[in-house]
Amino acid sequence: MISFCSLASGSSGNSQYIGNKTTKILLDAGLSGKYIKAGLEGIGVDPNDLDGIVITHEHSDHIKGIGVLMRRYGVPIYATEGTWKGMSEKIGKIDSEKVNLIKNDEIFQIKDIQVKAYSVAHDANDPVGYTFENGTGKIGVITDLGHYTEEILTEIRSCDLVMLEANHDVEMLQMGSYPYYLKRRILSGVGHLSNEASGEIACDIVRNGKARNILLGHLSRENNFPDLAYETVKSIMESEGIKVGNDVMLDMTYRDKIGGLYVIK
Ligand SMILES: [Zn+2]
Ligand SMILES: [Zn+2]
């Protein structure tokens, strides 16, 4: 068994739980320690039982709660060297023995869950996406990337559940109030995936992969609406002949509340 729950996802904070009876992992901790504790307890997980926090990159919406969680619960973290360099001064005093440096494309084990880190294109030091796998299921999370590659698709085609970034609607972003440099950054190859790009990936992983659940995440507050993201991705999939709700389940994660608990048996 392996389960997944998004505690929150979006530009104001990201954290996802992946685990089972014996192994409990957090993917990023970009919210307050208090929020994460409450979220975990909401799904019956004691933060004292966390076995590790794996970190995608050093942006504050992914690391805000790391220092508190490490100090309060003694949780070890896993990050690439670049990510660690980018975050080490922002998280306060921590026990350096709890820091595990990993490499891109490395597979490592946290108790009985196998974790793989793979490179993504995003404007951070050495950002990665992750897959989590045990004997029964595989989960992949790809948010915070400007574009997708064949390598990334290969990683997530074998996942049973994929959480996928649907950051913005391109038109809303272009017409919106963000300053020009920020619009350029988001739209660039190292920014964030649009709803349309998310739809393309969703089509690929249904056609060529095995996912039964696709969850949309990391929605922009300014440049997207949950309904718009959902309908855009769904209509792209349906235009490719995919029956959403039948061939695959399409769900949302939320910017400031806990999402559904998915259990793969
Ligand atoms: Zn980021
Ligand atoms: Zn982010």
Q: Minimum-distance ligand to the CA of 165?
A: 2
Length of the chain: 265
Q: Separation of 117 CA from ligand 1 center, angstroms?
A: 16
Q: Minimum-distance ligand to the CA of 27?
A: 2
Q: Separation of 69 CA from ligand 1 center, angstroms?
A: 20
The pLDDT assigned to 67 comes to: 97
Q: Separation of 143 CA from ligand 2 center, angstroms?
A: 7
State how far the Cα of 86 lies from the Cα of 91, in Å rounded to an integer. 10
**Helix or strand or coil: residue 151?**
helix
The pLDDT assigned to 98 comes to: 98
The predicted-structure confidence for 102-118, as pLDDT tens digits, reads as follows: 998 889 999 999 999 99
| Contact between residue 121 and residue 100 where contact means Cβ atoms under 8 Å apart | no
State how far the Cα of 234 lies from the Cα of 242, in Å rounded to an integer. 9
What percentage of residues in the chain have a pLDDT greater than 70? 100
Residue 10 has pLDDT above 90, yes or no: yes
**pLDDT confidence band for 141 (50 / 70 / 90):** very high
The residues pairing with 2 across neighbouring beta strands, listed in sequence order, are: 264
Q: Separation of 218 CA from ligand 1 center, angstroms?
A: 10
State how far the Cα of 264 lies from the Cα of 49, in Å rounded to an integer. 21
Average of pLDDT values for 117-139?
A: 97
Average of pLDDT values for 154-168?
A: 97
Q: Separation of 121 CA from ligand 2 center, angstroms?
A: 13
The predicted-structure confidence for 212-256, as pLDDT tens digits, reads as follows: 999 999 999 999 999 999 999 999 999 999 999 999 999 999 999
**pLDDT confidence band for 54 (50 / 70 / 90):** very high
CB within 5 A of ion ligand 2: which residues? 61, 144
181: buried, middle or exposed (CB in 10 Å: 19+, 13-18, 0-12)? exposed
Which regions of the chain does DSSP assign to beta strands (E)?
Answer: 2-8, 15-19, 24-27, 52-54, 77-80, 99-102, 107-110, 113-119, 128-133, 138-142, 161-165, 213-217, 249-252, 261-264
Residue 11 has pLDDT above 90, yes or no: no
The predicted-structure confidence for 166-223, as pLDDT tens digits, reads as follows: 999 999 999 999 999 999 999 999 999 999 999 999 999 999 999 999 999 999 999 9
Average of pLDDT values for 73-91?
A: 98
Residue 98's nearest CA partner among 76, 66, 127 is: 76
AA letter at 209 = G
AA letter at 179 = P
pTM over 0.75: yes
Residue 119 has pLDDT above 90, yes or no: yes
Q: Separation of 62 CA from ligand 2 center, angstroms?
A: 6
The pLDDT assigned to 9 comes to: 98
**pLDDT confidence band for 97 (50 / 70 / 90):** very high
Q: Report DSSP letters for 13-38, one per residue.
A: --EEEEE-SS-EEEE---S-HHHHHH
Q: Mean of the per-residue pLDDT values for the chain?
A: 97
Q: Separation of 10 CA from ligand 2 center, angstroms?
A: 6
Phi, then psi, of 20 in degrees rounded to 5: -155, -165
Q: Minimum-distance ligand to the CA of 58?
A: 1
